[in-house]
Amino acid sequence: MIKTLTARLTGLSGRPYHLDGKCIYLVSVGKNKFEDNFLLATLGLINSEFKQCDIIVAGTLQRFNYAAKTNRTLSEAFPKAARQEKLWIDNVKPYIKLISTQCSFIPWETYIKHENFIKYYHLVCKWYKEDEVFKSKLNETVDEYCTRNKTFINNNSNVKLTKFREYSELYLLEECAAMFMWEQCPIIYPGKASPILAETIERINQLKNSNNLKWIPIRFESKEIASWDDISASTKQNFLDTAYLQKPNIINDLI
């Protein structure tokens, strides 16, 4: 038997979105859930559920993580983050051509260079300084991240917890500000929304008098097929079975 992955949307009561509509696929470059068969399963899910997809590639956002984990400055960490972002996009482009969903890649700098970014960044910074609920949600998210990385921090003498927390805060403030410029549609991501992102989504919906910005987690399930020949011709045409995209050398087979 051959094991493949299937991606499913979770936490839904019915379908709080339109199958003919649009979604955002938020990508945290560098995490394994955005690589290999996890990625291909997600593309199969997108193809079966949505007609359009903005693929927001949070690559240069990771400069905060790289700086925090290597004790480098943000300017020193930026080139690596930019390279990883471009590499991810270049690697995924051939697979996007295999699905029928209309997809657009949006590099992270699209948002931080946007004319409205500073306005929204100042707003979330103001909330962080003056709004106790927002501040507590952001601090809770930072605490969770530091706890997950506790072993790494303790085992690396050049990594300072204070600097790690500072860069984590900056990461989240930038991400929250960017969210104001996202399409008002479901956000799909392999994991639940952090406390601060859930809070920011709620505030954005209130400010825009909308309830269309939703966070929908992706769950991956293992699936077995007897052989690659079991993938039917109709499956190949409709991409309803994400195993098709996971067939070895699929790109070469179709060129």
Dihedral (Cα; 123, 57, 165, 216), 10-degree rounding: 80
Backbone angles phi, psi at 139, to 5 degrees: -65, -35
**Distance from first CA to last CA of the chain, Å, rounded?**
27
- Dist CA 162 CA 169 (whole Å): 11
C-alpha distances in Å from residue 214, one per residue of 120, 188, 211? 19, 8, 7
Pick from 137, 130, 129, 186: nearest CA to 9 = 186
Domains detected in the chain: 2-110+183-254 (3.40.50)
pLDDT of residue 230: 60
Q: What is the pLDDT of residues 133-168, one digit of tens each?
A: 999 999 999 999 999 888 887 788 777 888 899 999
Which ranges of the chain would DSSP assign to H, the alpha helix? Answer: 36-49, 63-70, 74-96, 109-112, 117-130, 132-148, 150-155, 161-179, 195-207, 233-238, 250-254
DSSP-based three-state secondary structure for 217: strand
List average pLDDT for each run of 10 residues in the chain, which is 255 residues long: 81 55 95 92 90 96 92 93 96 91 96 96 98 98 92 80 92 98 94 97 94 92 71 48 56 48
220: left (phi over 0), alpha (psi -120 to 50) or beta: beta
pLDDT of residue 240: 42
pLDDT of residue 48: 86
pLDDT of residue 64: 95
pLDDT of residue 223: 75
DSSP 8-state symbol, 239 = -
Token representation of residue 193: 């929304």
C-alpha distances in Å from residue 215, one per residue of 59, 188, 200, 206, 239? 20, 6, 11, 15, 24
Q: Tokens 């930026």 appear where?
A: 78
Q: Tokens 């979770």 appear where?
A: 10
